[in-house]
Amino acid sequence: MKPASARCIAVLMLSWLGPPGSAQAADGETPTWKYEKRDVRFDVQADGSTIAHYDLAYTVLAESAVNRLDEQVISYHERSGRLSEVVAYTRKADGKRIDVPATNVQVTSHSGVDGLPPAFSDSVDRRLIYPNLAVGDTVVLSYTLREDKPTFAGRYSLMWHFDDDVPTDSASLSVTAPADFGMRTQSYEVDAPQEQTLADGRRQWVWHYQRATPVDRRDESHLFSRAWHYRDMPMVMVSNFRDYADVAAAYEAEAARLAVPTPRVTALAREIVGDAATPRAKAEKLYAWVQKEISFAGNCLAGGDVVPRDTELVLNMKRGDCKDHATLLQALLTSVGVPSTQALINSGEMYELPELPCWQAFNHVINYLPDFDVHVDATSPRDPFGELPAQEHGKSVLHTRAPAQVARTATVLPSSNWSRMRNAIKVEDDGSMVVNSVFEVGGAMAHSMRHSFAQMRKAPDFERGERIFKQSFERSGYRGTGFYARMDDTGIVSDRFSFEVNYRIADYLDTGNPYGVKLDAYYPSPAPIADLAAFAVVEDYPHDFLCNGDHRTEELQMSFPPSVKLLAVPRDVELKQPDISYTAHYEQHGNELRVVRSVVDNSPGPICSREVVAQYRAIAAAIKKDMQVQAVYQPQ
């Protein structure tokens, strides 16, 4: 029933460089800085390369913004970009100008050794430290960046976002391109552009933007992660791609030649598949090998870096970015006769594609295997063949190999994402509690938990977790011992994971007085039902939001010693909404008590409409009330 974890906005691959932490401290709070000026010009050449000029000025409105604005970073790609005409200074409140001295400029490069190109990242950061910045001062920065190598030859697109949570005195975006370039534009929450034909036969579009008062989102519930649509943001899009098939063809032209199997790749593929008899079994082995053996490193789809690396380099280094993983896997699959294509996707929180085709709508590359109708992401260390990371479920995806097409990755059935916890609790005469707990999880929860335990077990002092249990009890003011009695293999990839713990907490309950016992265990479920009670207080949410259904069951069996008498247990609870239900069953047999609580959340995902909020609220209210109930005993 829990919506996806809260984040503000999708990763859009936006093409501007703002100040560190460019948003305000929190949406709608008193602004701590503002844009005095934010003017950017892009001159697109006939081959798709660009000359960009940035003219920026940020004014400090509060002391808390000084440390955010006194350091500016210009980032670009060394192999394709040339930085020039950098002007950086502080304009004091009284108008005095203080230039950033050369001693306050630091350049970080990822160049290769002895002049060779870098293996995985050619990014350069020019870091400028502004001296004596104070409230009322303005940070001024302008520079020109020439991208000599176009991302795609003869093609260009841009997605530009104006901040609506920052006061903006004046901002503009200018794009010029050859008149016959076939450029189209689209904008949301921004006035239509001024458009004209220039004397040199080029076409120009200029958008202006101002915002005196930032958008105030403080009253929107933090329990929900908004599902953003492009229409919700002040955005400008520019593109000469005819359609998304044109985007796919442009990427495939760069990537296809690198996915051709080399003799080394072919030999490796045969070695990996071994005696696997079926095409799917071969594909599964190849995916698992790339997933395990090739580490993630590099830029993925960023700032014009769209060409995969040679498979020889990736195999030699045993690392690569997303497109390197996808290209190597595609080459291995081809070697054993399994067809596949690379697929472009947004791994952030955007679940749609803009109407105007822009390659920046994608920031990640995965694979699609048409014979099995599955997408796979070999950069994920957790997910088995045929499953994707949670943030890639139900997303628009562009298959790049002909016939190129926009498709959608599979959504996940809520029933496949589940957790079960069984607690057997024995209360001793002195109030000590002896517990055996079995935890079982499936789906995305299993992938995440298996990965977490794999990392935890690498610690040299893990020792079945005895120290972890002891310190946990001490932090709560108890003496106790515990250990992991059993744990599934953490070295494999599977959509199921379970573990078992035994522990004893001394003097946990008072058996010398009448007592009300909260009906839960010391250690909660991996996905605690009690956590859902927070949604009991949510107001109506005005937007679509990210959600993921799941099924949760928690069982507790508690036995009390003969020295006390169990007097009363709570009543059963049952509440059903169209998509979500909650049940709690309480059963007493003498001095033994059994509790079974269950949440079945079949709400649609990965995006839920605002109407689902009322269901969440009703179910959460029942959970909140039920979590306060107690069993009551008294000494015999």
Structural domain boundaries of the chain?
33-240, 245-410, 415-635
Work out the average pLDDT over 557-569.
Answer: 97
pLDDT score of 15 more than 50: no
Phi-psi region of 532 (alpha: psi -120 to 50; beta: other; left: phi over 0): alpha
CATH number of 415-635: 2.60.120.1130
pLDDT score of 8 more than 50: no
Residue type, 246: D
Rounded Cα–Cα distance for residues 376 and 326 (Å): 9
Which of 511, 502, 386, 488 lies closest to 437, judged by CA? 502
**Cα 110 to the chain's mean position, in Å?**
26
Work out the average pLDDT over 604-633.
Answer: 94
Rounded Cα–Cα distance for residues 54 and 41 (Å): 7
Question: Does the structural domain 245-410 have CATH classification 3.10.620.30?
Answer: yes
Phi-psi region of 464 (alpha: psi -120 to 50; beta: other; left: phi over 0): left
Give residue for tokens 């976002």: 161
CATH number of 33-240: 2.60.40.3140
- Of 24-38, 74-88, 493-507, 622-636, which gets the smallest average pLDDT? 24-38
For 5, 154, 364, 426, 616, the CA distances from 502, given in Å and listed in that order, are: 31, 65, 43, 12, 34
pLDDT for the residue 119 = 58
Give percent above pLDDT 70 in the chain. Answer: 93
For 160, 202, 525, 554, the CA distances from 597, given in Å and listed in that order, are: 48, 68, 12, 5
159-194 per-position pLDDT tens digit: 999 999 999 999 999 999 999 999 999 999 999 999
Work out the average pLDDT over 320-349.
Answer: 96
Rounded Cα–Cα distance for residues 633 and 75 (Å): 67
- At 152 the three-state DSSP class reads strand
Rounded Cα–Cα distance for residues 179 and 177 (Å): 6
- Backbone phi, psi, residue 147, to 5°: -100, 100
The pTM for the full model equals 0.86
**Residues ≥6 apart with Cβ < 8 Å to 53:** 40, 41, 85, 142, 143, 144, 145
* 207, 190 Cβ separation under 8 angstroms: yes
Q: What mean pLDDT, rounded, does the chain reach?
A: 90
Rounded Cα–Cα distance for residues 538 and 438 (Å): 33
Residue type, 408: R
- What the block records as the tokens of 415 is 């029933």
pLDDT for the residue 17 = 35
- Backbone phi, psi, residue 503, to 5°: -155, 160
